[in-house]
Amino acid sequence: MKVPVITIDGPSASGKGTVAACVASRLGFHYLDSGSLYRLVALYADRVGIDWDDEPALARAALTLPVAFCDGGVLLDGNEATEAIRAEHIGIGASRVGALPAVRTALMQRQRDFRVAPGLVTDGRDMGSVVFPDADLKIFLTASADERATRRYKQLIDKGESANLPQIRQDIIDRDQRDAARPVAPLRQEPDALLLDTTALTIDQAVEAVLSWFAAKSSDC
Ligand code: C5P
């Protein structure tokens, strides 16, 4: 039997990861944060001295990267990497390595392997368009650049880190442009994806919207 998949794609700092993880937990499904794989490739490259433009070396690393997901965290080569992959410069590196076709191909099967019963909720940029084109429900989750910058700013301040709101806003806009302009798997709303604009929604409201769409789709079958 086909294992159900819900894909939630959208721009950076839109809250799609939080919404996707909550939906997965409410349904008892597995959860894949595909961005973490791109971030892990960038972090690994940074640590071992592979340039973020060295496509063949990055693709080889992406194929064999020793990663493990457990208890909401991630290990790289057996070492805790949950916080390290969230650093701003690693996000920029992830966007650089994610623009390389050979890296995307290398990560394809690793992502598909997460499709295990009873179901999967996944978030990223091309989950519905490329990795799981037959997904049961596809969502494009977004929010205004101002709202996303403010959310990211608050997250950093809450963690006790210094943050500069205009700089964060500019980084978000630059990253969106790079993700949308690349020739492979660009960031965009596909025709078969439902738009969920969370600018004025709470996380709970966004989660409920996804769950009700999924319930409606499931009752159609
Ligand atoms: O979602 P997150 O911000 O963690 O992703 C980091 C970067 O990884 C994105 O800016 C994007 O360039 C890349 N990415 C991607 N395809 C995905 C997930 C993330 O290209 N499915």
- For residue 209, report the distance from its CA to the centre of ligand 1, in Å: 23
In percent, how much of the chain has pLDDT > 90?
83
Q: What domains can be seen in the chain, in order of their start residue?
A: 5-202 (3.40.50.300)
pTM of the model: 0.93
Query: Of all atoms in ligand 1, which is nearest to the CA of residue 38?
Result: 8
Provide the b/e sequence for 94-120 (b: ≥16 CB within 10 Å): bbbbbbbebbbebbeebbeebbeeebb
List Cβ neighbours of 159 (8 Å cut-off, separation of 6 or more): none
Each residue's pLDDT tens digit, 19-73: 999 999 999 999 999 999 999 999 999 999 999 999 999 999 999 999 998 888 9
Beta bridge partners of 67: 76
What's the average model confidence in pLDDT over 68-80? 90
Residues 99, 181: Cα–Cα separation, whole Å: 9
Residues 59, 28: Cα–Cα separation, whole Å: 33
Higher pLDDT, 220 or 196: 196
Average pLDDT over the chain reads 94
List Cβ neighbours of 143 (8 Å cut-off, separation of 6 or more): 14, 15, 151, 197, 198, 199
Higher pLDDT, 217 or 148: 148
Query: Of all atoms in ligand 1, which is nearest to the CA of residue 127?
Result: 21
pLDDT surpasses 80 at 221: no
Pick the residue whose CA is nearest to atom 6 on ligand 1: 35
Amino acid at 221: C
Indicate the DSSP class of residue 53.
T
Query: Of all atoms in ligand 1, which is nearest to the CA of residue 36?
Result: 4
pLDDT surpasses 70 at 176: yes
Q: Which residues line ligand 1 (CB under 6 A)?
A: 12, 34-35, 38-39, 91, 94-95, 98, 124-127, 175, 179
pLDDT value, residue 220: 73
pLDDT value, residue 83: 93
Pick the residue whose CA is nearest to atom 14 on ligand 1: 35
- For residue 221, report the distance from its CA to the centre of ligand 1, in Å: 32
What's the average model confidence in pLDDT over 167-179? 90
